[in-house]
Amino acid sequence: MVCTSGLVVAPLLVVFVGSQVLVTISIVQGIREQLQKRAPPFATYTWIEDDVPEYFPVSGGPTLVLTSIEESVRYGIQEPEAYYEWAYNAPVGEGGNVRLGPNHRLFVTSFAHQLHCLLTFRTLLNDEGIPDGRALHHSEHCLSFLRQHTLCAADTTLEPDDTFSRNFTSQRVIADRKCVRTESYYETTRDMWMEWVAFKHRSTNTSL
């Protein structure tokens, strides 16, 4: 009796153990793939020429949060507070410039650069006359830069078709979207900016 049930149980046990082994292997492979995708630690870079990380290190990594894309009475062009509202989007310090690595090498993050371009357009739209010279060249650079980044992201979200018939007072929200939580970026940039200021202060004091 025991023998018979043992004959039945044994193959089942083999199948069970086998499937557990396969599951374990796939989990280990998954973890390995995730680890391979991780950026190498900062200490592995020489920070010379192209030997630099691809992305700015956001503490905790990029997280997505539900964000309303909506019409706003803020971020106008001519209102007295408009300049400050647009400027408020710029990260603390040098407007998105960050200093990384042992030599405090200067970088700008792409999204801060894009925000800078939008800020430029707001200023130009508020200015009198048509931009020329350096301002014209800068706007051409910004237009093309935003064009390429829009194409690069190629966001294919389907939006409602009532943009121009909507009552923006009662229907402000166009859509709720999962967006990168930018607060982490602003916080990290602020901390790095403080470190840079402290470093500059120390260097100035040392050289005196």
Q: Which residues make up the interface to ligand NAG (CB under 6 A)?
A: 167, 169-170
Phi, psi of 145 (to 5 degrees): -65, -45
Q: Which is nearer to ligand NAG, 156 or 167 (CB)?
A: 167
Nearer to ligand NAG, 157 or 169 (CB): 169
Shortest Cβ 82–ligand NAG spacing (Å): 24
Helices (H), the chain: 2-37, 82-88, 110-126, 133-153, 183-207
Q: Toward ligand NAG, which CB reaches closer, 20 or 171?
A: 171
Closest CB 162 distance from ligand NAG, rounded Å? 13
Under 8 Å between Cβ of 189 and 98: yes
Which amino acid is it at 24? T
User: What number of CA atoms fall less than 13 Å from residue 183's CA on the CB side?
Assistant: 5
Closer residue to ligand NAG (CB): 35 or 73: 73
Q: Which amino acid is at 167?
A: N
Phi and psi based region of residue 136 (left: phi greater than 0; alpha: psi -120 to 50; beta: remaining): alpha
DSSP 43: G
Nearer of residues 169 and 204 to ligand NAG, judged by Cβ: 169
CB of 171 to ligand NAG, least distance (A): 8
| CB 152, min distance to ligand NAG, A | 37
For CA atoms 41, 59, 193, 143, give the dihedral sign. Answer: positive
Q: Provide, rounded to whole angstroms, the least separation between the CB of residue 168 and ligand NAG.
A: 8
